[in-house]
Amino acid sequence: MPDGRLIVISAPSGGGKTTIAGEILRRHPELIFSVSATTRPKREYEVDGIDYHFLTRDDFGKLVEGNELVEYEELFGQFYGTLRREVDAGLSAGKSMLFDVDVKGALSIKKLYDRTAVLIFVKPPDTDSLIARLQNRRTEDPNALARRMERVPMEMEQARHFDHQVVNDVLERAVAEVDGIVRDALEKQDS
87-111 tens-digit pLDDT: 999 999 999 999 999 899 999 999 9
CA distances from 101 to 2, 28, 48, 110 (A): 25, 18, 17, 12
Q: Which pLDDT value is given to residue 128?
A: 75
| Single-letter residue type at 154 | M
**8 HSE (CA, 13 A, CB side):** 29
Task: With respect to residue 18, please indicate whether it lies within any of the assigned structural domains.
Answer: yes
Query: 141: domain CATH number?
Result: 3.40.50.300
Task: With respect to residue 46, please indicate whether it lies within any of the assigned structural domains.
Answer: yes
Task: With respect to residue 73, please indicate whether it lies within any of the assigned structural domains.
Answer: yes
Task: With respect to residue 151, please indicate whether it lies within any of the assigned structural domains.
Answer: yes
Look at residue 14 and tell me whether its pLDDT is greater than 90: no
Summarize pLDDT for 152-170 with one digit per residue, the tens. 888 899 999 999 999 999 9
Look at residue 6 and tell me whether its pLDDT is greater than 60: yes
27 burial class (0-12, 13-18, 19+ CB within 10 angstroms)? Answer: middle
Q: Comparing 168 with 14, which gets the higher pLDDT? A: 168
Q: Which pLDDT value is given to residue 111?
A: 94
Question: Chain-wide mean pLDDT for the chain?
Answer: 90
Task: With respect to residue 166, please indicate whether it lies within any of the assigned structural domains.
Answer: yes
Q: Residue range 169-177: average pLDDT?
A: 96
Residues 100-110: b if buried by 16+ CB within 10 A, e if exposed: bbbbbbbbbbb
Task: With respect to residue 114, please indicate whether it lies within any of the assigned structural domains.
Answer: yes
Task: With respect to residue 105, please indicate whether it lies within any of the assigned structural domains.
Answer: yes
Measure the N-to-C terminal CA separation of the chain; round to a whole number of Å.
11
Q: Which pLDDT value is given to residue 158?
A: 94
Summarize pLDDT for 57-79 with one digit per residue, the tens. 999 999 999 999 999 988 878 99
Could you list the residue range(s) of the whole structural domain that residue 161 is in? 6-190
Domain count, the chain: 1
Q: Which pLDDT value is given to residue 139?
A: 63
Task: With respect to residue 1, please indicate whether it lies within any of the assigned structural domains.
Answer: no
Q: Which pLDDT value is given to residue 2?
A: 47
